[in-house]
Structure 1
Amino acid sequence: MTEGFDADRKMQFLFTLRSRGVKDNRVLGAMEKVDRGRFIRGIFSERAYEDMPLPIACGQTISQPSVVGLMTQALNVQPRDKVLEVGTGSGYQAAVLSHLARRVYTVDRHPRLAREAKTLFEDIGLVNITTFAADGSHGLPDHAPFERILVTAAAEDPPGPLLAQLKTGGIMVLPVGQSDTVQSLIRVRRHETGFDYEELRPVRFVPLVEGMGKES
């Protein structure tokens, strides 16, 4: 089991984030508050503070911390923002966002992951996160529009339903690519007459899959 996010681990963790391009002090502050070790179970828990992706349940992964930081930095979340996260996974990314936004809505197609993340959010007192088990490729139209949308799985193109749920002036960050080996992280900004797209960096994520996963 992990020994916890003690002062020495935290200092090294933040140093690694800075060295890999996470410079925004608000993002660094949020990541300092969230103990990644709480979101990893089993044999990989001892590696929770390394900058690497790790397996979690349902064949998914928890992203490496520097990628979480860079995606959060690109999203430029403001204190009054309502954020949609597609792909709850372990819940780690949503926990980081919760320290930056007014409210976070997070959705996962795997009921088990959504259920376990919801329990963990409650255990650590994150009261501004609402968790859904649903097909995230369709977003959450009943709660739209959103100032910010973050997608933690790769689609071939930004999904139309998610673009439609992005508020004018809003930002969406997501990986896109036609295979699991060639993907780019992009930032989409919505303005009055359309969308602007900016390519940020190469990444590698699990694919965005339509439909619900199996209950487990």
Structure 2
Amino acid sequence: MTAKLAEKEGFAALVLRLRAEGISDIDLLTAVEQTPRSLFVPPQFAENAYSSRTIPIECGAFLEGVDFAVRLLHHLKVRPGQRVLEIGTGSGFTAAVIGRIAERVLTVDRYKTLTLSAQRRMEALSLRSVIVRQADGSNGMQGEGTFDRIVVTAAFNSMPRFYADQLVSGGSMIAPLMTSENECRMVRLTKTGSRFEREELFDAPYLPIVPRLASQL
């Protein structure tokens, strides 16, 4: 089977699984289809690119199963013209998908190795709407203005309100919160004026956020 055919079949199987969950957003699924998942997976895991399994990547990080990634983006509800902040670039897959919908995406990670790899992938896909930066996002990204959507892929013990301050009115953020020593759930916070509406979504595989830039990797 050629790589192109494997991508096509993997995506088709993904769409069937997502539809069973009630996820059928055409704009989102088109963005996923236009973002070859195998480009973001280590070569030895290429056959698992469209599986629901978690895949290890560089710097001790991991790539969520594709079902989880799309479910997360479904709940993020990104729309054309929006500005999006992602804390935790990882492989860059979610930022790349968002970048096909939103006007601008700023994605940051504490690991230089991951940001350089993600930047190369964005260039290969000609995704100029995605800005990849090595930065410590544990306290938000002050000085970058406000965002319509914020997504965080490392867990907190309580909802980080300093991120919420960087949302526009009507904006929302999704972040994982630790519910026990080894478990966490994705939570959505929507800002209306000076008030916030909180909604619990689903269990997540993320680990606690680590502050500061990585000194070596």
Q: TM-score, normalised by structure 2?
A: 0.92
3-state SS in 2 of match to 1:205: coil
Distance 1:143 1:194 in 2: 22
Sequence identity percentage: 33
Give structure 1 stretches of 5+ with no counterpart: none
- Residue deviations 1:159-207, cap 9 Å, x none? 2321111111101011111546321111100111221100111222122
Distance 1:205 1:153 in 2: 6
Q: Residue 69 of structure 1 corresponds to which residue in structure 2?
A: 70
Distance 2:121 2:79 in 1: 24
| Offset at residue 53 of structure 1 (A) | 1.4
Q: Residue 128 of structure 2 corresponds to which residue in structure 1?
A: 127
Distance 2:102 2:210 in 1: 26
On the 8 A contact 1:137/1:161 being kept in 2, the answer is no
Query: Over aligned residue pairs, what C-alpha RMSD do you find?
Result: 1.7
Q: Residue 184 of structure 1 corresponds to which residue in structure 2?
A: 185
3-state SS in 1 of match to 2:143: helix
Q: Residue 13 of structure 1 corresponds to which residue in structure 2?
A: 14
| Offset at residue 8 of structure 1 (A) | 2.4
3-state SS in 2 of match to 1:137: coil
Give structure 2 stretches of 5+ with no counterpart: none
Q: Residue 87 of structure 1 corresponds to which residue in structure 2?
A: 88
On the 8 A contact 2:53/2:64 being kept in 1, the answer is yes
The number of residue pairs the alignment matches comes to: 215
Distance 2:102 2:133 in 1: 18
3-state SS in 2 of match to 1:185: strand
Mean Cα deviation higher: 44-53 or 119-128: 44-53
Q: Residue 3 of structure 1 corresponds to which residue in structure 2?
A: 3
Distance 1:23 1:94 in 2: 20
On the 8 A contact 2:56/2:62 being kept in 1, the answer is yes
| Offset at residue 142 of structure 1 (A) | 2.0
